[in-house]
Amino acid sequence: MSEEVITRREGAALVVTINRESRRNALNEAVAEGIVAALDRAEADSEVRAVILTGAGGKAFCAGGDLKPNADGTPFTIEAADPRHYVARLLRRMDACRLPLVARVNGHALAGGFGLICACDLVVARDDALLGVTEVKVGLFPMMILPYLMRVLPYRRLMEFCLTGETIRAGDPEAGAIVNYAVPADQLDAKTAWLVGRLVDKSPTGIRLGKQSLAKIREMSTDAALEYAQFMLANMARTEDAREGFAAFAEKRPPAWTGR
């Protein structure tokens, strides 16, 4: 795994850290590949129930693409011989992740970094962290992350972000649609642990199939979504975890999840 992405276990969670503090944890190909590898590792470990994505240091979660001249692995070019952009690969892999993805926003999340938090399932942020897409200030538009911004932001707010390049703080009231919890820096770890603790004691099977279903339903018409949903609900009710959940409820005891 790339040294630009490091991992460590915290209980039932795998913490994935973008380790480019000197470059404000900017995205490059090694970072994208490192996060993808970390997600693969997390899913291969039956004891991991959630993934926490964060950045090194205390200034930036991720400042987006590396804008410095001759930056290594810049996201602003495409290899003609292989046009499959690594940012697209990363975002698709995050979409397909069967585990809950929690963004621990330890500092500013700008441009592609803002896209990363929008691609996560839940977000805990420092209340002074800046959020936004600043690409218009350098003559660009946040193309690669637009699908993820559209999931999270109302259209008018999305356009204001994209057209002005202005930022907001995670603790501002208007960030409520983006951030689940905004806390002072000294409370970030405790709040993240508290949120993750509410996830890892739930059914791994229910979460896995639920996330898979949500990804598909998002792209369907209402009629198709309802037909798919009833099929998935019936199948989920036959899993070992669902049977255990029903039994534990009836017997008034904590469930013992098998993940099957």
Q: Catalytic one among 79, 135, 160, 219? A: 135
Catalytic residue flag (residue 3): no
Overall residue count recorded for the chain in this entry: 260
Residues 6+ apart with CB under 8 A from 254: 248
Q: What angle do CA 36, 37, 39 make, to 5 degrees?
A: 65
Residues 6+ apart with CB under 8 A from 106: 54, 55, 57, 58, 60, 61, 126, 129, 185, 188
Cβ atoms of 4 and 20 within 8 Å: the answer is: yes
Cα 28 → chain centroid? 17
233: tokens are 């609900």
Residues 6+ apart with CB under 8 A from 31: 2, 4, 5, 18, 20, 25, 73
- Phi, psi dihedrals of residue 53, rounded to the nearest 5°: -105, 130
User: Which single residue is written with the structure tokens 């204001």?
Assistant: 160
Give me the active site residues, please.
135
